[in-house]
Amino acid sequence: MPYFRDTAHFYETVGALMDRAKNDPHVGPKIAKSGLIIQFQYHKPEAVTTINAKDKPSQPGTFLDIIHGPTALKPDIEMSMEADTANLFWNKKINLAAAIAKGQIKIKGSLPKVLALLPAIEPLYTQYRALLKEKGYEDLIVK
């Protein structure tokens, strides 16, 4: 059974995590330093999230922009996966390099640049579980 009921449910969870990352003083500046536009394309359900670390953030107090849904921005890196794979990743049940090697996550662009961002996002693993509990979605926590 899939983890997410629909696209809105996905954005309420993984999307909300990305929204928090843009304000996080430990995560946001490190991603912003990359200067990359990274787009995540999710399937089952369909969703798109784009991180814009190339341009100046549009909102004061944020480190980068997060766009949910279609955008005209041209990504430097594109990653595509099933939404359930994203949930497993944020639950620390999937290793990124192994998932790419197995074809669970497909990438267009620089793999070394993606792997270099892994230390920057480390705090988000804990935040994801906390966010799921906060929203009453404990069923998405994978033990």
Q: Give the chain's domain count.
A: 1
Residue 142 forms part of a structural domain: no
Contact criterion met (CB below 8 Å) for 51 and 90: no
Residue 29 forms part of a structural domain: yes
Q: Tell me the pLDDT tens digit for each residue of 8-37.
A: 999 999 999 999 999 999 999 999 999 999
Residue 28 forms part of a structural domain: yes
Q: What is the pTM of this model?
A: 0.94
The CATH number of whichever domain residue 78 belongs to comes to 3.30.1050.10
* Eight-state DSSP code of residue 6: S
Which residue blocks in the chain are alpha helix, DSSP H? 7-10, 16-21, 28-34, 83-90, 96-102, 111-116, 118-134
Residue 106 forms part of a structural domain: yes
What 3-state DSSP class applies to 29?
Answer: helix
Residue 58 forms part of a structural domain: yes
What is the Cα–Cα distance from 143 to 104, expressed in whole angstroms?
20
CB atoms < 10 A from the CB of 33, how many? Answer: 13
Residue 1, pLDDT above cutoff 80: no
